[in-house]
Amino acid sequence: MSDNDLSIRIDLASGVRIGPGKIALLEAIRSAGSISGAARSIGMSYRKAWILVDEINHVLQRPAVATEAGGSGGGGATVTPVGETLINLYRAIQTGARRAVASEFQAIEKLMREEADAPE
């Protein structure tokens, strides 16, 4: 019944953080082909998605997301090779970390109350 999970966040010296939210946004842009479509698909506001994309692009040497000025339907957006590398490395870090600490993670789970037994 364990849906407990471990998430990873990269805290850059600049103060910018790259965690599950930003990576999910990049993956959604890859699927949707636009920032507006990506935002919609993960229930994020368009404004918030733009701010996060801008933050990601700004900390990288080369942008993770390339946007095209749009016609009537709004512009498209694609994940660049650098963006793909970032996604892949993040996912590798997540998988590697989960595997490395599986036993400690199980030990923490044992300290927790069972959902079914919890009051309220």
Q: 111 is written with which tokens?
A: 């300290």
Contact status: 31 vs its own copies (CB under 8 A): no
Site track for its own copies across 83-102, x = CB under 8 A: --xx--xx-xx--xx-xxx-
Torsion of CA 33, 21, 47, 39, to 10 degrees: 40
105 lies in the site for its own copies, by CB under 8 A: yes
Cβ proximity to its own copies: between 33 and 112 the closer is: 112
Give the whole-angstrom CA distance, residue 55 versus residue 60: 9
Q: Which of 14, 43, 47, 73 binds its own copies (CB under 8 A)?
A: 14
Q: What DSSP designation does 74 have?
A: B
118 binds its own copies (CB under 8 A): yes
